[in-house]
Structure 1
Amino acid sequence: MANRYSTNYRMNRIFSDDRAALIVPIDHGLVWGRVEALEAPVKVMKRFLKEDVTGFMVSTGIVKQSEVMLAKAPAMARVLAIDAFWPTSAVETGTGTLVASVEDAARLGVDCVKLLLPWNVTDAEKVLYCQRIGIVVSEASKWHIPVMVEPVFLNTPRSPEIIEKELEVARVGYDLGADIIKITFPGPDATAKLVDELDIPIVVAGGPLSGDAASTIKDIKDAISAGAQGVVVGRKIWQRPEAEAAELIAEVAKITRENYTRHW
């Protein structure tokens, strides 16, 4: 009983009753190093702290360097990426590993841990990922920390077939014990299907910068209207000019309030 309530405390820091979560990811350096417009991630965090966002997806280093700043903004949720995969450009020979532990997450005071679940990898790598996630879920239950799992086909063009496969891998993550599924926006119908099938929050990721601001707004509105409990949007916003990014994040925030229906 204590475990359930403690985990719910953190879940309700991530998700509120009156809006969808709006999480800005700035953890990209774990996999890609020095990403354009994210060369100084804590400065990016400082910019978006002024906006109507609900939290950040971070790495251990970012947590350490921003702890004083975030102590002054206690309402902000933090999702800690605790694994990585290298290289994403050669998934047939790449490998994943943990880069932080659940105990680290508890010590750092974050609200959730996040792991990838790549599926266009070797069978041996799939085994390692499933084992790793299972162990993390077990450890997280001891520390009362929610686990977010992200099914993904690395370095693969998105197509209807890939999107359908991602939905299948989302079910694998669910059965491994995920508390939250993060998935690149699969379209409104697929989002609604996933929300209907899985009794845990679904959050959608924006992916790389592409299209104009209007297409980003439309995708986010469609996702939340379809039942997504949050959006994790970074490059589509902070890789734009600062003034445009500020306008766009304000519009996204408005959508997270006006189009939201709680589903858990």
Structure 2
Amino acid sequence: MISGKERRLRRVMGADARTLLVAVDHALTTGGAGGLTRMSGVLDAVVAGGADGIVVHRGSAANSMPVQRDTAMIVHLSGNTRLSSGGELKTRVCAPETALALGADLVSVHVTFGGGHQEDRAALADLGKVAASCDRLGLPLLVMTYVAGVGEDPAERGPAVIHAGRAAAELGADIVKVAHPGTDYLDELAASVEVPVVLAGGEAEGGWDAYVTSAKDAVGHGVAGLCVGRRVFGSPDPAAAVAELRSVVHGALPAAA
């Protein structure tokens, strides 16, 4: 028997077991900055570009997400704003049941590791509750992981990113989003986390061509895809940006030398 989770996962994972997700949940954190002033236009462009799924908060899901069949809707359950300190530490702002009523194909939560002993324990406990609800409702769960306080030293960053991804999978994630662990750790990341792993786009710094090259390399090392935000909605042509990244994820392009 095919479960509801499996049916919904097939809406976001391609036949090649890869996916391109675009996240616009930044609107809660930062407001309309960086290209999110007119949400409906951004969402139309992302759908037109061919994204497999788009991450939105409940307000955008209800008011701006186009009704269509091509791009799965992922309702984000976590949030905080930069109006308060500790904006990287998220809290639950939506229930899985509410997301399902809005027509969500998947839901997502944000978990920051290293925020402090109490904060980490609370985040893990809440993740367990969300995962249990998703199992009951047949909703796939995307867990976005971040590790606070980790620098750019690959020997520190790589293992921490992999551990965070593995922890999310162990607690019920169906798809895990992580920061780029460094090229030397991509193979280990793909092998260690037994659910599809997508890489965050990160800050929109550095040239577009360099980012595309990095994305090709990651897919070539077995990463299941990308979950990109600012590099898309901050682009002069979001639809074209999505289309190019789709070709990277699904085009079976060789890894960069």
> Structure 2 length as normaliser, TM-score?
0.89
Cα distance change of structure 1 residues 95 and 197 upon mapping to structure 2, 3 Å threshold:
closer
Is the CA contact (8 Å cut-off) linking 1:41 and 1:62 kept in structure 2?
Answer: yes
Match of 2:178 among 179, 183, 197: 183
Is the CA contact (8 Å cut-off) linking 1:23 and 1:53 kept in structure 2?
Answer: yes
CA distance in 2, matches of 1:38, 1:90: 22
Match of 2:165 among 136, 158, 170: 170
Look up the equivalent residue of 2:28 and give its one-letter code.
Answer: L
Is the CA contact (8 Å cut-off) linking 2:55 and 2:76 kept in structure 1?
Answer: yes
Give 3-state SS (helix, strand or coil) of 1:117's partner.
Answer: strand
CA distance in 2, matches of 1:239, 1:135: 34
Cα distance change of structure 1 residues 157 and 87 upon mapping to structure 2, 3 Å threshold:
farther
Is the CA contact (8 Å cut-off) linking 1:203 and 1:231 kept in structure 2?
Answer: yes
Instruction: Give structure 1 stretches of 5+ with no counterpart.
Output: none
Cα distance change of structure 1 residues 206 and 89 upon mapping to structure 2, 3 Å threshold:
farther
Match of 2:242 among 245, 249, 252: 249
Is the CA contact (8 Å cut-off) linking 1:187 and 1:223 kept in structure 2?
Answer: no
Cα distance change of structure 1 residues 212 and 185 upon mapping to structure 2, 3 Å threshold:
same
Is the CA contact (8 Å cut-off) linking 1:184 and 1:205 kept in structure 2?
Answer: yes
1:12-70 deviation per Cα after TM superposition (whole angstroms, max 9, x unaligned): 11101147311111111222223221122221111222213222111101110135x2x
Is the CA contact (8 Å cut-off) linking 1:20 and 1:260 kept in structure 2?
Answer: no
Is the CA contact (8 Å cut-off) linking 1:187 and 1:222 kept in structure 2?
Answer: no
Is the CA contact (8 Å cut-off) linking 2:12 and 2:72 kept in structure 1?
Answer: yes
Counting only pairs closer than 5 Å after superposition, residues 66-215 of structure 1 correspond to structure 2 as: 66-67=64-65, 69=66, 71=67, 73-87=68-82, 90-91=85-86, 95-154=89-148, 157-160=151-154, 161-215=156-210
Match in the other structure for 1:221: 216
Give 3-state SS (helix, strand or coil) of 2:33's partner.
Answer: coil
Give 3-state SS (helix, strand or coil) of 2:111's partner.
Answer: strand
Cα distance change of structure 1 residues 64 and 209 upon mapping to structure 2, 3 Å threshold:
same
CA distance in 2, matches of 1:241, 1:235: 11
- Residue 257 of structure 1 deviates from its aligned partner by 2.0
1:259 matched to 2:257? The reply is no
Cα distance change of structure 1 residues 221 and 233 upon mapping to structure 2, 3 Å threshold:
same
Look up the equivalent residue of 1:221 and give its one-letter code.
Answer: K
Q: Count the aligned residue pairs.
A: 253
CA distance in 2, matches of 1:19, 1:176: 21
Cα distance change of structure 1 residues 246 and 111 upon mapping to structure 2, 3 Å threshold:
closer
Look up the equivalent residue of 2:246 and give its one-letter code.
Answer: A
- Residue 90 of structure 1 deviates from its aligned partner by 4.6
1:238 matched to 2:216? The reply is no
Look up the equivalent residue of 2:245 and give its one-letter code.
Answer: V
Cα distance change of structure 1 residues 260 and 126 upon mapping to structure 2, 3 Å threshold:
farther
CA distance in 2, matches of 1:78, 1:228: 22
- Residue 157 of structure 1 deviates from its aligned partner by 4.8
Cα distance change of structure 1 residues 66 and 246 upon mapping to structure 2, 3 Å threshold:
closer
User: Which deviates more, 157-166 or 47-56?
Assistant: 157-166
1:205-236 deviation per Cα after TM superposition (whole angstroms, max 9, x unaligned): 11111111111101110111111222111211
User: Which deviates more, 121-130 or 21-30?
Assistant: 21-30
Moved over 4 A (4+): 86-90, 154-157
CA distance in 2, matches of 1:88, 1:125: 19
> Structure 1 length as normaliser, TM-score?
0.87
1:114-164 deviation per Cα after TM superposition (whole angstroms, max 9, x unaligned): 111111211001111000000000011110001111220247654421332
Across the aligned residues of Structure 1 and Structure 2, the Cα RMSD in angstroms comes to 2.4
